[in-house]
A and B are shown apart, each in its own frame.
Chain A
Amino acid sequence: MKRLAKTFPLLALPVLLASCEKEITVDLPDTPERLVVEGTIEPGRPPFIILTRTQSYFAPTDVNTIASIFVGGATVVVTDNGVPHTLQQICSGDLTEEEIQQAAALTGLDPALLSSANICIYTSTDAATFGVAGHTYRLDISAEGKTLSSTTSIPQPVPLDSVWFKLAEQRPNDDTLGYAWARLTDPDTMGNSYRWMARRISHRANGETEDPTFISPLGTTFNDKYINGLTFDFNAIRGRQFYSDQPEDQNDEAGFFKVGDTIAVKFLSIGRKEYDFYTTYDNNVGSTGDIFSTPANVKTNIDGGLGIWAGRGVYMDTIICR
């Protein structure tokens, strides 16, 4: 729905007007740095916390500068039902190449970045920290003289009735490209929110997994405000890793799944604050350069900082595209 509302004016202008673009220099005011949390906890998995800092918009973008946004040495405590667990700091410099691939899959970080710089995140190997659906988790972080806190709950997962691949037939005689489809029966109680993630787990010729991590295409977060208790079908395009330079992200196949792909589907159930975060996040990221939208900051559930601490109920399924 949002996609519809957003694209309509955007596409109108280029049809009619020859606009031109040029690069300019903009002097931005100095703004105090803030800490950013990207934390998730899912059933059967330990919490993962990536702690970074904001940068001036035009700060350099070399690997060292990017690596310097990751905040190490923080005290990160996750409290489950009154029992605090202090998370361990794990740095990519201490990992083997194979472990880096696993870390990338779990955290969503770029494997190339993990190998080229020492990036630290916070997690635990203690099974007592693993998420349980229905539990509420408090997060406390102290780093660089700042304290941050938040709470989240893991909602009960909602299964998809079925998932499948269907040709998009967007171009004539195209019999390979399509979208992932799913049928959802929303529970009869109001207040369910969802987020779609998918990952191609089939391999490339060189043995690499096609997508190193799960990706959520922008605009795939929704709630049951209009669909409460209904059974309906929806589809999703193929998301693209921000850092991807794979040919299928540059050519006509961008956005499509393809016959031959195997897709792991991760369907998330989230709470209201998490829904607010992900929708405003999608909007913020997706509206770059869109004059028709009013600029808006991403809503956060972190006191004292930015970002998200998200408990996520997880339903997993697999699609073989044929």
Chain B
Amino acid sequence: MPGYFWRRFRTDMHLRLPLSGLALLFACALHAQDRFTVSGYVNDSTSGEALIGASVFVQEIQKGVPTNTYGFYSVTLEAGTYTFVVRYIGYADLQRTVVLNADRKLNLLLRPTVTEMKSVEVVGEKRVSNTESTAMGRMDVDVQKLQTLPALLGEVDILKTIQYLPGVKSNGEGNSGFYVRGGGPDQNLILLDEATVYNASHLFGFFSVFNADAVKNIELIKGGMPANYGGRTASVLDITMKEGNSKEFHGQGGIGLISSRLTLEGPIVKEKSSFIVSARRTYIDVLTKPLINKDSQFAGSGYYFYDINAKANYRLSDKDRFFLSGYFGRDVFTLKGNEPGSPDFNIPWGNATVSGRWNHVFGPKLFMNTTATFSDYKFRFDGGQDEFKFKLFSGIKDYGLKVDLSQYPNVRHSLKYGAQLIRHIYTPSTVDVSSGDTEFNIDTPSKLNANELAVYAMDEFDITDQLRMTAGVRLSAFAHIGSFREYLLDDEGNATGTRDYGAGSTVKAYQGLEPRLALRYRLDNTSSLKASYNRNLQYVHLASFSSIGLPTDVWIPSGKNVKPQVGTQYAAGYFRDFADHLFETSVEVYYKDMENLIEYAEGAQPQDNGNTNYDAQLVFGNGYSYGAELFIKKRTGKLTGWVGYTWSKTMRKFPDINDGKEFPSRWDRRNDLSVVASYELNKRWTFGATFVYSTGQATTLPVQRYWIEQRLVSQFSERNGFRMAPYHRLDLAATLLNKETKRKKDPVTGEVTEVPRKYRSSWTFAVYNAYNRSNPYFIYFDTEGSIGNGDLRVVAKQVSLFSVIPSVTWNFHF
């Protein structure tokens, strides 16, 4: 599309959207005579868990509403008699006749059609038809059903499953890092019960921090981000923890090759409050310790991680409900330096989040949620060799408060508005070095403080029966505030003096308007066209020295030199269901523009970060990405699953990198294909398979060599100017569930009957990389031999991480 169009479109949006948003707010207040409201919650009849996104459909008017994150819904209709049909995948449809002559409260319980741990549906499930909502680029993942899919070392991983969705790229072999539509790793907003998770991976990215047993629902938004989300430019991954069974005590767990899990849940006060606690720990350290030779390079080294999820809720009344949830996880890595000059380390890092929420129903049409959140990511590194001691800390801490209101004035409108305040406290890399009794004089950088504020309003509006619009606007502001010590630098980057900002004084402030618009035009009952536009501002950035995402990566705020990132996305799509919604298909195209991205300058070194400004080694640039995504899914039946294909291009342009020339991003992959399938053979056996293919990863390789001090120096090509071999892999899994019933002999009559088992267990056998493809992880050049001996060789080597890896996991449930 011609450039002027984009510019016009963008300017128009900025001017008109806020106004139209306001107009809508007023428009809604005008109706509401002779109308009554039905509102309430939709819950699972066996566990009491709220059902997110269940469809509450009114047959007479052929319109429906989805339940919100807390299972709440509200429909306003003219007086009359209506038939409500409540649908949710995996549950029996519930039909209710409602005579409406006054506002009514109607709590609905849905009965699961299948017992748990058996899979009808796999992941990527939407409960409301794809062609109905304005949502684009949005995917739900049903965690309960993940266990039948193959997983590396048997560790079920939410983030890796997300990578199978179109438009989402993985960060290389076995890595849980994900990259959405050309965005960087810091551009995904990862929320766990509304608290931000800053580093979502364990073990250098091989496992995600989310324990699938504790998670109820996952929603990924990769485009058309609604106005109630903000602060990131690429995507939102909204993870909701289970509330815990409010009726009965239950437990589940598993024993795998590298870790074990246990989850307990149950009522505290029946029907009023419940809890869930879930814990997981790896035991690679315990298993490998005896195998490591005492004289080996790795003797005394070890690694483990653990995490704990806990949540409790209390229903004060039908109007008030409280939730308290928390996550705590740590990775601990110890390394004994048994090589010359290699030091000992102890490196713990991890996240903690806490969120407290209060749901209040003001009336049948107004639902409020207030959330207070705390999140903390910490990294510490203690190293030492002989008299030389080295400590490094970094981290980020957030205190947040958020109020969200949902208003349902009539069946054509659904309004949301709210405000959010976050206090960020950043600890940039802080080092402490000593040699013997001498402390090196490294200034302890003051912690960086910042306030982030946002207000938003949005309306989901059925303009006609065909045309639905979700329009919203978000106004966000960010201020880096004191105390802060700024270093005054000369042209060479040497500090010549300092300037101090007092506590609370503003160092630098930014604000901006973020318009969001999504449209759906229904062509017929089974197909629709959609389009969306959104502009997002992002005030926090991740500075990374490595290319793969390490716990050493540091979060930094926007400030004097670091401008907020701006992401603008235009998307359009065609959605169609086939065979009575058995198959769901979509084609989406997008164009995304990214401004003010950050990178470390070429040759920047972590040790140069001290005694200078936190942004001294950074360079700034822009990027863009465009692509097309195809998605075909089979929703129900014995065989379920999907095929996702993405064609995309992602480029970056930095004046100070690659001589200012445009270069492909590390996540630029032209072709990306994922196939996910699950087949339920019978009540006991379920098979799963996944296949992925993607264009080889872009990498930077040396093109020339030269010699200095008799050592080989590499002269590199253009940034990411080389492609590794394509990546493809097939994984297989088979899950065997124990029998549903057991034989029981009646002690009196001697009669043998089949009774249902209370304890269910299953075995999952999986093979990762079934046909043993040597996928490239990285390529490097090395020399062998010596010039003097005449046997010097320069060779290119490709490193592959995982060959065929079988695994077995035992899961239980009671």
Cα–Cα, bound, A116→B792 (Å) = 15
* Among A2, A36, A171, residue most surrounded by chain B Cβ atoms (within 10 Å): A36
B787–A66 touching, CB < 8 Å: yes
Q: Smallest CB-CB separation from A253: which chain B residue?
A: B340
* Among A20, A34, A112, A245, residue most surrounded by chain B Cβ atoms (within 10 Å): A20
Interface mask (A219-241 → B, CB under 8 Å = 1, otherwise 0) = 00000011111111111011001
A232–B708 touching, CB < 8 Å: no
On chain B, the residues within 8 Å of A298 by CB distance are 708, 713
A299–B603 touching, CB < 8 Å: yes
Q: Smallest CB-CB separation from B600: which chain A residue?
A: A294
Q: Smallest CB-CB separation from B798: which chain A residue?
A: A24
Q: Smallest CB-CB separation from B437: which chain A residue?
A: A232
On chain B, the residues within 8 Å of A179 by CB distance are 340-341, 386
Q: Report if A295 contacts B (CB, 8 A).
A: yes
Q: A281-B713, A294-B546 are in contact. Are A233 and B708 (CB under 8 A)?
A: no
A1–B798 touching, CB < 8 Å: no
B340–A254 touching, CB < 8 Å: yes
Cα–Cα, bound, A190→B606 (Å) = 20
Q: A58-B794, A62-B790, A233-B435 are in contact. Are A28 and B703 (CB under 8 A)?
A: yes
Q: A19-B800, A31-B717, A283-B603 are in contact. Are A234 and B388 (CB under 8 A)?
A: yes
Of residues 221 to 277 in A, which have CB atoms within 8 Å of B's CB atoms?
225-235, 237-238, 241-245, 254-256, 272
Q: Report if A168 contacts B (CB, 8 A).
A: yes
B802–A17 touching, CB < 8 Å: yes
Cα–Cα, bound, A168→B385 (Å) = 10
On chain B, the residues within 8 Å of A8 by CB distance are 333, 335, 345, 347, 381, 383
Cα–Cα, bound, A64→B471 (Å) = 72
Q: Smallest CB-CB separation from A8: which chain B residue?
A: B345
On chain A, the residues within 8 Å of B339 by CB distance are 255
B703–A16 touching, CB < 8 Å: no
On chain A, the residues within 8 Å of B341 by CB distance are 3, 179, 217, 237, 255
Interface mask (A274-315 → B, CB under 8 Å = 1, otherwise 0) = 000001110111001111111111110000001110000000
Q: Smallest CB-CB separation from A63: which chain B residue?
A: B790
Q: Smallest CB-CB separation from B710: which chain A residue?
A: A242
B796–A297 touching, CB < 8 Å: no
On chain B, the residues within 8 Å of A289 by CB distance are 780-782, 797, 799
Of residues 198 to 225 in A, which have CB atoms within 8 Å of B's CB atoms?
216-217, 225
On chain B, the residues within 8 Å of A58 by CB distance are 794, 796
B793–A61 touching, CB < 8 Å: yes
Cα–Cα, bound, A191→B490 (Å) = 13
Q: A216-B709, A225-B608 are in contact. Are A18 and B441 (CB under 8 A)?
A: no
B335–A4 touching, CB < 8 Å: no
Q: Report if B702 contacts A (CB, 8 A).
A: yes
Q: How far is the CB of B713 from chain A (nearest CB, A)?
A: 6
Q: Smallest CB-CB separation from A26: which chain B residue?
A: B796
A285–B704 touching, CB < 8 Å: no
On chain B, the residues within 8 Å of A61 by CB distance are 783, 785, 787, 792-794
Q: A5-B606, A108-B709, A242-B786 are in contact. Are A191 and B494 (CB under 8 A)?
A: yes
* Among B386, B710, B782, residue most surrounded by chain A Cβ atoms (within 10 Å): B710
Cα–Cα, bound, A317→B788 (Å) = 30
Of residues 291 to 317 in B, which have CB atoms within 8 Å of A's CB atoms?
295, 297-298, 301, 303
B610–A226 touching, CB < 8 Å: yes
On chain B, the residues within 8 Å of A217 by CB distance are 341
Q: How far is the CB of B611 from chain A (nearest CB, A)?
A: 6
Neighbour of A291 across the interface among B335, B383, B721, B777, CB < 8 A: B777
B436–A233 touching, CB < 8 Å: yes
Interface mask (B370-395 → A, CB under 8 Å = 1, otherwise 0) = 00000000000101011110100000
On chain B, the residues within 8 Å of A21 by CB distance are 797-800
Q: A55-B704, A57-B703, A306-B715 are in contact. Are A235 and B386 (CB under 8 A)?
A: yes
B714–A288 touching, CB < 8 Å: yes
A55–B706 touching, CB < 8 Å: yes
Cα–Cα, bound, A225→B587 (Å) = 56
On chain B, the residues within 8 Å of A20 by CB distance are 774, 799-800, 803
Q: Smallest CB-CB separation from A216: which chain B residue?
A: B709
Q: How far is the CB of B172 from chain A (nearest CB, A)?
A: 9
B441–A54 touching, CB < 8 Å: no
Neighbour of A26 across the interface among B606, B722, B778, CB < 8 A: B722
Of residues 332 to 389 in B, which have CB atoms within 8 Å of A's CB atoms?
333, 335, 337-343, 345, 347, 381, 383, 385-388
On chain A, the residues within 8 Å of B297 by CB distance are 11
On chain B, the residues within 8 Å of A144 by CB distance are none
Neighbour of B547 across the interface among A23, A66, A233, A291, CB < 8 A: A291
Q: Report if B442 contacts A (CB, 8 A).
A: yes
Of residues 3 to 56 in A, which have CB atoms within 8 Å of B's CB atoms?
3-5, 7-9, 11-26, 28-29, 31, 33-34, 36, 38, 52-56
Q: Report if B705 contacts A (CB, 8 A).
A: yes
A242–B716 touching, CB < 8 Å: no
B440–A230 touching, CB < 8 Å: yes
Q: Smallest CB-CB separation from B343: which chain A residue?
A: A4
Interface mask (B282-297 → A, CB under 8 Å = 1, otherwise 0) = 0010001000000101
A36–B345 touching, CB < 8 Å: no
Neighbour of A23 across the interface among B441, B705, B795, CB < 8 A: B795
Q: Report if B693 contacts A (CB, 8 A).
A: no
Of residues 756 to 801 in B, which have CB atoms within 8 Å of A's CB atoms?
774, 777-783, 785-790, 792-801
B706–A225 touching, CB < 8 Å: no
Q: Report if B755 contacts A (CB, 8 A).
A: no
Q: Smallest CB-CB separation from A37: which chain B residue?
A: B708
A57–B794 touching, CB < 8 Å: yes
A230–B441 touching, CB < 8 Å: yes
B703–A232 touching, CB < 8 Å: no
Q: A5-B606, A112-B788, A283-B603 are in contact. Are A241 and B203 (CB under 8 A)?
A: no
A24–B796 touching, CB < 8 Å: yes
A5–B607 touching, CB < 8 Å: yes
Rank and list the top 9 A-B pairs by shortest CB-CB distance, nearest first: A255-B340, A112-B788, A289-B780, A232-B438, A296-B603, A61-B792, A54-B704, A237-B341, A243-B786
List 29 A-B pairs, Cβ < 8 Å: A3-B341, A5-B607, A8-B381, A11-B301, A12-B303, A14-B298, A19-B799, A22-B797, A22-B800, A24-B725, A31-B715, A57-B701, A57-B702, A57-B703, A57-B781, A61-B787, A66-B792, A108-B710, A110-B788, A232-B436, A232-B438, A238-B340, A242-B710, A242-B786, A283-B605, A291-B799, A294-B545, A298-B708, A306-B706
6 additional contacts (CB under 8 A) given A243-B786, A291-B546: A12-B204, A59-B794, A113-B787, A272-B494, A288-B712, A288-B782
